[in-house]
Amino acid sequence: MVHIYLPQKIHQQLEAYEQRTGKTHADVVLDAVESTYATLLVPGEEPPLPPGALFARTSAEHARRLDGDLVLVGVRLLQSHLTQIDELVSASTATSRSAYIVAALRAHLERIACQEDA
């Protein structure tokens, strides 16, 4: 299990999205990484795979800075998923795995909110 400190606003968005969709923390984190990793790469880097092709999934897998209070969230991910995320972190501008996942979740949940409002 990996523990990530999420800004409270992102945690609230995550919880609301999971209630609407029935998805788990792991599902949403992997969806977020897959849908945003190309935008988090170091400038000039080429994405190794198209969005949606990073993680093999089975049907059984279901900063106190400007973001305000942080909430600790546990996410159960396969070691292979963590290894893939760590490789993406290395090719990104993120300073850590947690920072990368927070950036991916922020972008992913904001995009979903815009689509649902449309």
Separation between Cα atoms, residue 87 and residue 75, nearest integer Å: 18
pLDDT in tens, 72-108: 888 888 999 999 999 988 888 788 888 888 888 988 9
- Give me the pLDDT at residue 15, please: 94
What's the pLDDT tens digit per position in 24-68?
A: 898 899 888 888 877 777 677 776 666 565 665 543 333 444 455
Q: Is the pLDDT of residue 70 over 60?
A: yes
Q: What is the 3-state secondary structure (H, E, C) of 93-105?
A: CCCCHHHHHHHHH
